[in-house]
Amino acid sequence: MFLKERSIKTNAEVAAAIATWAKRHGDVEELTPDDAERLWRQSGRKVPSNIPRDMSAPATEGLTRVGTGRYAVTTYGERYIDDKITE
């Protein structure tokens, strides 16, 4: 439902949205690749073949931050995803 309420098009946006959802609804500040893959599957979107690559991609836009094998949404990323809510 979280993704369906938003105009999310790219895998980078999906990755940021998954990290945002996990932070807000799962009390998970950082995702491992396994966490991200599980949530991606639950989203109903096609799971990319390279989760680490697709979870790292939004960091170049400032939407997420990447640690050692962990991914988290930034404050900017949360606002960006919130702005994607469809009317």
Nearest to 59 by CA among 69, 73, 78: 73
Asked whether 86 and 13 are in contact (CB, 8 A), the reply is no
Give bridge partners of residue 6 from the DSSP assignment. 85
pLDDT for 72: 96
Tell me the C-alpha distance between 61 and 57, whole Å. Answer: 8
Q: What percent of the chain has pLDDT over 70?
A: 97
CATH architecture for segment(s) 11-82: Orthogonal Bundle (1.10)
E strands in the chain:
64-66, 71-73
Cα–Cα distance for residue pair 74/53, rounded to 1 Å = 17
Per-residue pLDDT tens over the stretch 47-65: 999 999 999 999 999 999 9
pLDDT over 60 (residue 17): yes
Partners of residue 82 on adjacent β-strands: none
